[in-house]
Amino acid sequence: MSDTSRQAYLHTRVSVMSTRLFNPGEFDALMRLDLAGMAERLGFRALLDEQLSTRGKSRAVEQTLIQTLLTELTILTRPMLAPERALVLAWGRRYALFNLKTLIRGKLHNLTAREIEDQLYELPPRLGLADQALLRTENVLELLRALEDGPHAPIARQAREVYEQRREPFALEAAIDQRYYAGLARHVMRLQDDHVEPLRDLVGALLDRVDLMWLLRFRFTYRLSPSETFFWLVPSFRLMHRERLLELVDLESIERVREALPTALADSLDGADTLIELQRHLGAHFARRARHILRRSRSGVARALAYLMLREMDLMTLFALIQGRLLGLQPDLVVAAVELSEPASNPAGRAAAA
Amino acid sequence: MLTPLAMKHVRLLVLTEDLPRAALTLAETESFHPDTREPGDPRLSGTPGHEYRETFQQARTRLAKIGNLIPLVEEVDLTEIRVVDAAELAQVNDWLGRIWRETSRYEEEYRRLEDEEGFVAEQQAAVANFAELRVDLRLLRSHTRFLEIHVGLVPRENLRQLQGAVGLADHMLFNYTTRGEQAHVVIVGPRGHGETELASVLSSAGFQSLPIPQELDRSPDEIAESLARRRAEIEIERQTLGHRLQEWAASFAERLTEAERTLRLAEPFVTLDPSVRNAGHLACLAGWVPARAVADLRRRLDDSLTQPFQLDSRDPLADERPLVPSVPVRSRLLQPFALLVKQYGIPQYGEVDPVPLFAVTFLLMFGTMFGDVGQGAVIAILAWIFRKPLGRLYLFGVLAGLSSMAFGFLFGSVFGSKELLPALWMSPLKDPILMLQLALGWGILFIVLACLLAIYNRLVVKNLAGALFGHHGLVNLVFYLALIWGAVNLATAGAFGWWPATLGLMALGGLAWYNWRHLDAPVAERVLVVFIETLETVIGYASNTLSFLRVAAFSLNHVALSIAIFTLAGMMGTFGHLVTLILGNIFVIVLEGGIVMIQVMRLQYYEGFSRYFSGNGHEFAPLRLRRAAPGR
């Protein structure tokens, strides 16, 4: 397949798939439905299965949504060249990292293999970990050592070294996240031609969002020093670049950080007073950027990745909506959860549905 | 030999407590292939072996991990068969857990030594670097009154981020060299300023401090010697650790073997677990057993089970055929051919087993295309010499060589020479037209046989429409025979003939009608598809028959190549003559032999298997006690 025909195929695929993205009105309509109505509208029979517990229903729905996303990811990567595919797959491996964190937490809390397994995402082989082999390890160090023999070796090595020195889960998870986003940025740098700029824009927007949230949390919630906060951040290609991060981490309050933000980012945070509101505004800001790339970019790969990111946001919103219904939460709480929805990397969060 | 071994579906109802014993008995018979389908009765929904399996898998993983450091026995004596109950399995698992915890300490110790060795290597590199620096290195060794200095290693990927981070703690980072994944750095900053902050960042970045040797400013050779000594010491420590591990392992070697034996005895029940369902004390398991082994199975269960049981057997139902396993060929001679057939697929239960036919036709075609006594003998001898690395495939090489030799006698060819041996029949080049005619005749026979097998295979599974109108079914065969009849008429009498033309057109009409009826598409598309498929039938059969001309073509090619080699050799002196003959024969054996092999496989797979062999079956894999180590 020539480059032109690959790009044409990919653009067509993305355009067809992007019709699956939800309009805001569709979510409003779904929020007005009861559980049975939702099950009928979305085709989730598991929601009406009387034999399943609330936790079982929630897990079945979450697994279906993730499968949907990863199936679309697989379809979109087919016409891509190896470096492009590697980037998109690297993004998709976040679910493997969620599993890894779940495994680590499980080992730290001495959960049984069955208890941990219940919380793992089922992933296709090329995106997943060797879960069964890892489940049978008997402590965190053994788990990380076992991972060092596979494709996650760089992440595992850094995580192990940090864990051996610090013995604290925070440093371990921060190291995993940092390696993940740094790896994603490296994949973008390896690309050439027309894809570089739009992908730098897209992944840069993602890193802007992640960096600002991490900066505020690490610096002002966890009270880390400016130097340690900076160390855990991943410089972005866009607004939160290295120099800006160096400047921002050295500021002493959230207000000073907000004042020092570039206008484009500061404007999008207008009206947000708490960290939760900031997270919501940042999510919306990123979604706007991703939609812009999906609509306007000439790079099929950038459009495909933008679509997958938006689709993930949609599916997670849908999941938050369904979980709210399953738990019988008040509509205002469901709205808040829907606006903050992100893939659950926290088993405690998922276990809350139980 | 061609028909599959008849199978029965059996259902065994036993008391749950008798399940491990039943599993062992089934494994001993080596005739029970588990059926993993859910039982029809919804009351049988329990999974009684689940906990047992979990424990087994943990124990097996622990034993494998221990085996990475302590050699385990490969063969285990399983003459005394006994039931391993859940309590015993748990006990073995706990013991293996304790042994693994201890073994993992040794493992960590090995890793520590490995890391230390790497660290000493880095130190050696650092010393080599320091020796070239024109600074007083004593200053780097200790903290000064105003400056704090850290010399060490950091993973290269963290370097840039760490540089920014130490800058925020009012320090400076200087990267003076990089080796592999490690960057050597010096970090300098004001004393008493941001020290705690820096320590935390360094720890997060995986910083390893490199001690500056005391003697650095005096004798670099001594330092190098001391570091080399340290590496030698590490090697000695490693050996000592190995001895210690060996001694420690010797103290429980027998128990480890016993644990291995226990796990092997527990394995059948674990393998069976997905096929077992229960309701309270009643457990049900199902599977496939060769019909002739059912009576023996019943007798063995009678002997071993203490509690009552019920064993029902029945023939496979029509819709179950795709699930029934096929018993592979047991003949030693046919084993290597079975391996090649397996590359295409496993015969579905009921289908004709293609292995014997494949073996005969393969050897006939290979011999015809590569007939030479000498070259065949070389192939057979080489296959025999390398029988160990070749495994079961060596017999394949021996038989191919023997076939080549047999045809070599017929063609009178020894290493390409026609003068050393009188031909029992004739050299292929003597009458090429006859050779081509024979190849064509062989092709027709092969295709007709393949079509007959396809028809038989469909009739066996009650697919009447497929047998009549399907690809290579009866109507196709009628068309093909009419085509051949007409072609023979054309060659002998100069006209196709009315009868074969009528028969062929009727068959084609029948096929077109069948395709038309089974196509769900708009009229234009149906016309197009039916036209193309009918045309494809005509062209396909003609080209497939002509495809067999390669059998004669390669036998002629073989002779032609030999003539070329002898002509070249004739131009040389005595030594050159000999060298050309040897190299030429090696060339023929390697290159032509390889090509002929590929061509025969192509004829088998494409002209044969694609006609009559679905390859959709699955192999009979009975429950058995594993006597060799995992993966062997």
Q: What angle do CA B537, B543, B547 make, to 5 degrees?
A: 140
- State the Cα–Cα distance between residues B464 and B468, nearest whole angstrom: 6
- State the Cα–Cα distance between residues B280 and B19, nearest whole angstrom: 13
Number of CB atoms found within 10 A of residue A8's CB: 14
Amino acid A344: pLDDT: 46
- What is the chain A residue with the closest CA to B159? A231
> Which chain A residues contact residue B169 at CB under 8 A?
225-227
> Which chain B residues contact residue A242 at CB under 8 A?
164
**Backbone φ, ψ for residue B46 (5° rounding):** -75, 155
Please state the rounded mean pLDDT for residues B485-493: 92
Closest in B54, B167, B200 to A228, CB measured: B200
**Nearest residue to B160 (alpha-carbon basis) of B178, B138, B136:** B178
* CA dihedral sign, ordered B365, B369, B373, B379: negative
Are A166 and B57 a contacting pair at CB < 8 A? no
The identity of residue B143, as a single letter, is H
Which tokens is B147 given?
A: 């400056």
Rounded to a whole number of angstroms, the distance from the CA of B87 to the nearest CA of chain A is 19
- What is the chain A residue with the closest CA to B105? A142
Helix boundaries (H) for A217-299: 226-232, 242-249, 254-260, 263-268, 275-296
Amino acid B271: pLDDT: 86
- What is the chain A residue with the closest CA to B107? A142
Helix boundaries (H) for B133-219: 138-141, 159-168, 195-204
Q: What angle do CA B110, B115, B119 make, to 5 degrees?
A: 145
Highest mean pLDDT among A103-117, B3-17, B138-152, B395-409: B395-409
Which tokens is A62 given?
A: 């979450």
Are A138 and B100 a contacting pair at CB < 8 A? yes
Amino acid B631: pLDDT: 46
Rounded to a whole number of angstroms, the distance from the CA of B280 to the nearest CA of chain A is 20
Rounded to a whole number of angstroms, the distance from the CA of A218 to the nearest CA of chain B is 13
Query: Is residue B34 within a helix (H) or strand (E), and if so which, with residue range?
Result: strand B33-34
On whether any CB of chain A is under 8 Å from the CB of B57, the answer is: yes
Rounded to a whole number of angstroms, the distance from the CA of A154 to the nearest CA of chain B is 9
Per-residue pLDDT of chain A (354 residues; tens, 9 = 90+): 667 788 888 999 999 999 989 887 787 788 777 778 888 877 777 777 777 778 888 888 888 899 999 999 999 999 898 889 999 999 998 888 888 888 888 888 888 888 888 888 888 877 777 667 788 888 888 888 888 877 677 777 777 877 777 677 777 788 889 989 999 999 998 887 777 889 999 999 999 999 999 999 999 998 999 999 999 999 999 899 999 999 999 999 999 999 999 998 898 888 888 888 888 889 989 999 999 999 989 899 999 999 999 999 999 888 888 888 888 777 677 766 666 665 544 333 343 333
On whether any CB of chain B is under 8 Å from the CB of A241, the answer is: no
- Tens-digit pLDDT profile for residues B20-40: 889 889 998 989 999 988 777
- Tens-digit pLDDT profile for residues B262-280: 999 998 888 887 788 888 8
- What is the chain A residue with the closest CA to B170? A227
Amino acid B122: pLDDT: 80
**Number of alpha carbons in the 13 Å side-chain half-sphere of residue B33:** 18
ipTM of the complex: 0.83
- State the Cα–Cα distance between residues A177 and B327, nearest whole angstrom: 52
Helix boundaries (H) for A47-195: 54-77, 82-92, 94-108, 113-117, 131-135, 140-147, 153-166, 169-190
Closest in B58, B165, B198 to A230, CB measured: B165
Residue from B54, B100, B114, B161 to probe the interface with A (highest A Cβ count within 10 Å): B161
Amino acid B348: pLDDT: 85
Closest in A145, A166, A224 to B203, CB measured: A166
Are A228 and B201 a contacting pair at CB < 8 A? yes
Q: Which residue has the higher pLDDT, B522 or A261?
A: A261
Number of CB atoms found within 10 A of residue B3's CB: 11
Amino acid A11: pLDDT: 93
> Which chain A residues contact residue B97 at CB under 8 A?
138
On whether any CB of chain B is under 8 Å from the CB of A138, the answer is: yes
**Nearest residue to B480 (alpha-carbon basis) of B462, B459, B455, B514:** B455
- State the Cα–Cα distance between residues B486 and B114, nearest whole angstrom: 80
Q: Which residue has the higher pLDDT, A41 or B230?
A: B230
Amino acid A340: pLDDT: 61
Point out the least confidently predicted range of A218-227, B113-122, B124-133, B598-607. Answer: B124-133
> Which chain B residues contact residue A154 at CB under 8 A?
157
On whether any CB of chain B is under 8 Å from the CB of A226, the answer is: yes
Rounded to a whole number of angstroms, the distance from the CA of A337 to the nearest CA of chain B is 33
> Which chain B residues contact residue A138 at CB under 8 A?
97, 100-101, 104
On whether any CB of chain A is under 8 Å from the CB of B159, the answer is: no
On whether any CB of chain A is under 8 Å from the CB of B206, the answer is: yes
Closest in A157, A161, A231 to B201, CB measured: A231
Residue from B100, B201, B208 to probe the interface with A (highest A Cβ count within 10 Å): B201
Task: Give residues 474 to 493 of B whose Cβ lies within 8 Å of A.
Answer: none
Closest in B111, B164, B198 to A230, CB measured: B164
Amino acid B481: pLDDT: 95
On whether any CB of chain B is under 8 Å from the CB of A26, the answer is: no
Q: Which residue has the higher pLDDT, B368 or B76?
A: B368
- State the Cα–Cα distance between residues B428 and B559, nearest whole angstrom: 7
Amino acid B170: pLDDT: 87
Closest in B58, B101, B198 to A227, CB measured: B198
Q: Which residue has the higher pLDDT, B133 or B62?
A: B62
Amino acid A338: pLDDT: 65
Are A227 and B203 a contacting pair at CB < 8 A? no
- State the Cα–Cα distance between residues B97 and B100, nearest whole angstrom: 5
- What is the chain A residue with the closest CA to B162? A231
Amino acid A346: pLDDT: 39
Are B197 and A225 a contacting pair at CB < 8 A? yes
Are B203 and A165 a contacting pair at CB < 8 A? yes
Q: What angle do CA B555, B561, B564 make, to 5 degrees?
A: 145
- How many CB pairs lie under 8 A apart between chains A and B? 80
Amino acid B134: pLDDT: 57
CA–CA distances in Å: residue A57 to residues A39, A115, A341, B521: 11, 17, 18, 41
- State the Cα–Cα distance between residues A203 and A180, nearest whole angstrom: 12
